């Protein structure tokens, strides 16, 4: 079987059996095809070449090429995609050894998630407290992202049926098609119902969030809506909101987790609400909490002041 065919099979396996998102599949496809092109260009590796002949030399060459054109975080992502592909080939019996285990990925600095203060969230909500359809939609979107801690991709994929699956809860399909239920507050439900009363009728879809053509709202469109809301909030409250800050929709999810932790919620509950498969992923929010403590110390303690 051709190398490109194995890449295709691998992506189909990820989509159908592992439930990878469209963004993950797009990234894997791009990274693996780049590796295929590298083999063709530098080692005369063609479609009929035996995959078992892939050796550390080929992998080190690819890693070296990446290091000359990419930042560490991009290199680590591409090598991670390659590792996942090689493990798949080994399970299929195509490769006998996983040579990538001998090639380390570059170390990347772990950045703490960016989040908004409670006062900033309130100003965002105030900026979208309006009677126009666009503002009402923005208000409902912010309520969902912050009130339920959803990923922007999860909000984009929400259907009206997910709001009716269990009273007082919202059904969310996360990474790997894992399903979870998150409590739906009265304020969030009120914002959604107000939006439903005003929005154009959806076209051939049951999506919760739609554009003015009645089709499902994309993740990019959601990011633009949030950016406009931030600019409007900055005009209303320049002392709270900095219009130059790069705030992504994901910052609302981080704010959801950070504020829960600050208010005394336990990590295990936050893990379930966020849909994290590992507790270690949720534990990074404890570092944010320590950061808040340090800020309070630097602001208030006499010895911390000049």
Which residues are tagged catalytic? Answer: 151, 175, 250, 253, 276, 285
CA dihedral 250, 255, 256, 260 (to 10 degrees): 150
Query: Which of these, 32, 14, 33, 34, lies nearest to 24 by C-alpha position?
Result: 14
Query: Which of these, 249, 256, 227, 252, lies nearest to 128 by C-alpha position?
Result: 227
Relative orientation angle of helices 133-148 and 118-127, to the nearest 10 degrees = 160
Q: Are 283 and 150 in contact (CB under 8 A)?
A: no
Give the integer Cα–Cα distance in Å for 168 and 155. 17
Q: Three-class SS of residue 131?
A: coil
Give the integer Cα–Cα distance in Å for 29 and 21. 12
Instruction: Return the beta strands (E) in the chain as ranges.
Output: 169-173, 179-183
Query: Which of these, 153, 172, 154, lies nearest to 163 by C-alpha position?
Result: 172
């Amino acid at each position: 079987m051709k190398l490109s065919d194995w890449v295709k099979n691998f992506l189909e396996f990820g989509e159908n059996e592992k439930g990878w998102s469209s963004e993950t599949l797009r990234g894997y496809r791009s990274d693996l095809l780049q590796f295929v092109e590298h083999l063709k260009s530098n080692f005369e590796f063609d479609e009929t070449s035996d995959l078992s002949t892939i050796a550390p030399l080929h992998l080190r060459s690819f890693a070296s090429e990446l290091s000359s054109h990419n930042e560490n975080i991009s290199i680590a992502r591409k090598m991670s995609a390659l590792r996942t592909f090689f493990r798949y080939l080994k399970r299929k019996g195509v490769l006998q050894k996983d040579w990538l285990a001998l090639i380390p990925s570059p170390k990347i600095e772990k950045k703490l998630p960016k989040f908004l203060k409670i006062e900033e969230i309130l100003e965002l909500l105030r900026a979208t407290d309006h009677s126009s359809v666009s503002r009402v939609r923005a208000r409902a979107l912010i309520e969902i992202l912050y009130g339920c801690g959803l990923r922007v991709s999860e909000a984009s994929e929400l259907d009206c049926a997910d709001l009716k699956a269990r009273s007082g809860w919202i059904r969310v399909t996360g990474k790997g098609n894992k399903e979870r239920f998150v409590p739906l507050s009265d304020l969030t439900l009120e914002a959604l119902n107000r939006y439903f009363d005003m929005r154009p009728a959806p076209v051939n879809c049951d999506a919760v969030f739609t554009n003015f053509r009645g089709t499902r709202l994309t993740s990019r469109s959601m990011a633009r809506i949030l950016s406009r809301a931030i600019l409007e909030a900055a005009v209303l409250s320049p002392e709270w909101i900095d219009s130059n800050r790069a705030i992504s929709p994901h910052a609302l999810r981080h704010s959801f987790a950070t504020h829960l932790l600050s208010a005394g919620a336990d990590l295990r509950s936050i893990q379930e609400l966020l849909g994290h498969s590992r507790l270690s992923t949720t534990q990074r929010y404890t570092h944010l909490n320590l950061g808040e403590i340090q800020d309070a110390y630097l602001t208030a303690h006499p010895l911390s002041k000049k």
